[in-house]
């Protein structure tokens, strides 16, 4: 298992957030993180595993699901 301070990208975050009918602000509040953290993660910036786990828990999905690439059309 990676260290909790290691950083990960979460390309599936925006898709999962939209499916949950949440704004970035709502998700941030639910996960206990800053809105800018959610925005940066959605833009592809690396995010700590601890933060990714908080966001995944708030969305009711796994970290692995958030790490999956967006489907291409």
Give the dihedral of Cα atoms 8, 50, 35, 39; nearest 10 deg.
10
Residue pLDDT, tens place only, 15-27: 999 999 999 999 9
Q: Which one is predicted more confidently, 51 or 8?
A: 51
% of the chain at pLDDT higher than 70: 88
CB atoms within 10 A of CB 1: 5
pTM for this prediction:
0.87
- CATH of region 7-62: 1.10.260.40
Compute how many other C-beta atoms are within 10 angstroms of the C-beta atom of residue 62.
12
Strand partners, 48: 7
Domain ranges of the chain: 7-62
Question: Which residues share a beta bridge with 8?
Answer: 47
């Amino acid at each position: 298992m990676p260290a909790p301070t290691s950083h990960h990208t979460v390309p599936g975050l925006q898709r999962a957030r939209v499916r949950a009918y949440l704004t970035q602000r709502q998700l941030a509040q639910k996960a206990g993180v800053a809105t800018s953290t959610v925005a940066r993660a959605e833009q592809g910036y690396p995010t700590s595993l601890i933060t990714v786990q908080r966001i995944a828990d708030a969305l009711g999905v796994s970290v692995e699901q958030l790490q999956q690439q967006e489907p291409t059309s």
